Structure 1
Amino acid sequence: MSQRVVLITGALTGIGRAAALGFARAGHAVVISGRHEETGEALAAELRDLGAEAAFIRADVRREAEVAGLVDQVVARFGRLDAAINNAGTEGRPGPVTEQDAESYAATFDTNVLGTLLSMKHELRVMLARGSGSIVNISSTYGHDGAGGASVYSASKHAVEGLTRSAAIEVAATGVRVNAVAPGPTDTGMLDRFTGTAERKAGLTAGVPMRRVGEPGEIANAILFLASDQASFTTGQVLSVDGGKSAA
């Protein structure tokens, strides 16, 4: 695909970072966002070393004014927004339903669901005006499968997939596409925090037919595909990248 201006939220670690590197290597202008300025500026410098135009803009996706400002700054600096990857997310507080409360619910849903909703709202604001664009939300295989010990996280990712499909239908005739990628267990800090121990991580890995966890770059490859013209007739879809987990 020709050069595009790509915005990635939650871009500083894991899948978001891998996607930023992937888009930069493909020659696109990349705007990365997150809450940690020093880490963000370091990654932006790394992207520029790869030859890409790159910028870091600090924003908290839970706060609408910051999300609106983020999108406006992208357009002010680069003139347009072609693709947006809504990756900002949290695993919340793992544990059974009986250990959850309003605080753990809000902490998870405010980032994973409200953050995705606000991001799409303002990304669509500028994409619809141009009549083109691609949004890729990041879900999880837990977004369409149940998961003991991950009830609130699973529910939040079900919501992300519902938002994805609803938005895709709403804008399908406008030239803007909305899809999601649902990673299986992926070798990130979030997975380490979620499993807590090497034994639990090994147990989760054993449930993947390919008998390994994914690498962030493998998830990024799917994100780049959905954002590209190669997926021009694809919208409202949730692409599982999970080593066969959802087929088992």
Structure 2
Amino acid sequence: MAQYIQNDVTNEDHVKSLIATIIKEFGQLDMAVNNAGISSEVVSIDASNSDNYSAMVNTNLVDLYYCMKHQIIQMLKQKQGAIVNVASVAGLNGIPWAATYASTKHGVVGLTKSAAILIMRSKVFVLTRQPLALSELILLTNNLMAMMKIIMKK
């Protein structure tokens, strides 16, 4: 059985409370999907805004960390569970005009892989998916066009 429960993942105490609510309601936490993410600007790193970057790091990485940490604690107690963290292909390759976003998604991939290695002898599984969103296709296309313009000028 699945159920939507609204929560503020920017607050670690709220995340702990969410896990407690799930256990009270359902008895255990079998699976979790962590899919919070924002991309607040598409510019080169030298033109990026530090406040926008901090917001992306907090949403895309820190808030996911809060969720994954407390999900793992619960699932290890249960001796089973599965967690899927949604990253991005930008977390595998990078995007020149969205380096700030890509760096947060690299963090998600690294955090997920590290957690998976740590708990690999348990029956708790942690993995990541890197979808290629339409907006990322647009970013990649724009990057290729920009690079072609630079190459054509030489």
Partner Cα separation in structure 2 for residue 79 and residue 157 of structure 1: 32
Matches within 5 A, 1:126-165: 126-165=74-113
Aligned pairs for 1:1-248 (under 5 A) are 29-30=1-2, 54=3, 56-186=4-134, 191=135, 200=138, 203=141
Segment drifting more, 84-93 vs 106-115: 84-93
Amino acid at match of 1:168: A
Contact 1:92 1:152 in 2 (8 A): no
Matches of 2:66 and 2:14, distance apart in 1 = 10
Taking the aligned partners of 2:133 and 2:50, their CA distance within structure 1 comes to 27
Whole-angstrom distance in 1 between the partners of 2:47 and 2:10 = 24
SS of equivalent residue, structure 2 residue 96: coil
Identity %: 32
**In 1, are the aligned partners of 2:32 and 2:82 still within 8 Å (CA)?**
yes
SS at 2:121 equivalent: helix
Greater fraction of residues in helix? 2
What RMSD over aligned residues (CA atoms) do the two structures have, in Å? 2.2
Q: Given residue 139 of structure 1, which amino acid in structure 2 is its aligned partner?
A: A
Q: Flag structure 2 segments of 5+ consecutive residues without an equivalent.
A: 146-154
Alpha-carbon displacement from aligned partner over 1:176-206 (angstroms, at most 9, x marks no partner): 11100000124xxxx3xx78xxxx57946x9
Contact 1:74 1:80 in 2 (8 A): yes
**Post-superposition offset of 1:175:** 1.0
> Structure 1, unaligned stretches of length 5 or more?
1-28, 31-53, 208-248
What TM-score do you get using the length of structure 1 for normalisation? 0.54
Report the structure number with the largest CA radius of gyration. 2
- On the 8 A contact 2:95/2:140 being kept in 1, the answer is no
TM-score (norm 2): 0.85
